[in-house]
Amino acid sequence: MIDHDVLSVFCGPAGEFGNELGVVQGLEGASPAERLRIARDLGFSETVFIDDPVRAAIDIWTPSVSLPFAGHPCVGAAWLLDAPQLDTAAGVVTARRVGGVSWITARPEWVPPRTFRQYSSAEQVNELDVPRPGEWIYAWAWEDESAGHVRARAFPGRGDGIDEDEATGAAALLLTATLGRALTITQGRGSQILTFPKPDGSIEIGGHVRRIAK
């Protein structure tokens, strides 16, 4: 087994839930095939490889593909490294920590297209069955539109064992860009993602992070 940290990213208000993230350090020379094997073995929705802790250069993998950018790995890596920015394949992600919330700033164009399906109530989202693989689906509904509260679930559809993603920062970023307003998103079992659109078109994504194991 590869030594790694396990973080929970986008925890709920009481520190519960969150999307688990594997963070691997010390394997800067690992090939793409080795990274894919490790990501599959660890089995998290995403695993981050820290390629340069000084520059905070990271490489993100799912159990089936590499990703230029993803939200919960960037929030988790920035928290673990206590870094003001991350160097990703998509670009430089800035980071900050305020009042226990870890924030990153990223751009919507870094995120691959998703299929967004809006439902009329949070109850409808709660009752959804996992769809068949083949399409990356983000299902959402307003819980309180005036307050910007959203209920969401995410179904990556890659057929790699991750049928539902507990908390998906990249999809939250795209939804925020589409709606043009700050959101508080409750996803999965009860994880919480905070978002805020900025004047230059970038989006801040934030949440609580805790270490589960090392």
Residues 6+ apart with CB under 8 A from 82: 97
Decide if 135 contacts 145 (C-beta within 8 A).
no
Q: Tell me what pLDDT residue 206 has.
A: 97
Q: Catalogue all structural domains in the chain, each as residue range(s) with its CATH number.
A: 5-104+209-213 (3.10.310.10), 110-206 (3.10.310.10)
Residue found under tokens 């691997």: 24
Residues 6+ apart with CB under 8 A from 211: 5, 6, 7, 8, 80
Q: Tell me what pLDDT residue 160 has.
A: 84
Rg of the Cα atoms in the chain: 16
Decide if 58 contacts 77 (C-beta within 8 A).
yes
Give pLDDT tens digits along the chain (214 positions). Answer: 688 999 999 999 888 999 999 999 988 889 999 999 999 999 999 999 999 999 999 999 999 999 999 999 999 999 999 999 999 999 999 999 998 999 999 999 999 889 999 999 999 999 999 999 889 999 999 999 999 999 999 999 888 888 999 999 999 999 999 999 999 999 999 999 999 999 999 999 999 999 998 8
Q: Tell me what pLDDT residue 161 has.
A: 86
Q: Tell me what pLDDT residue 2 has.
A: 80
Region of residue 5 (left: phi > 0; alpha: psi -120 to 50; beta: else):
beta
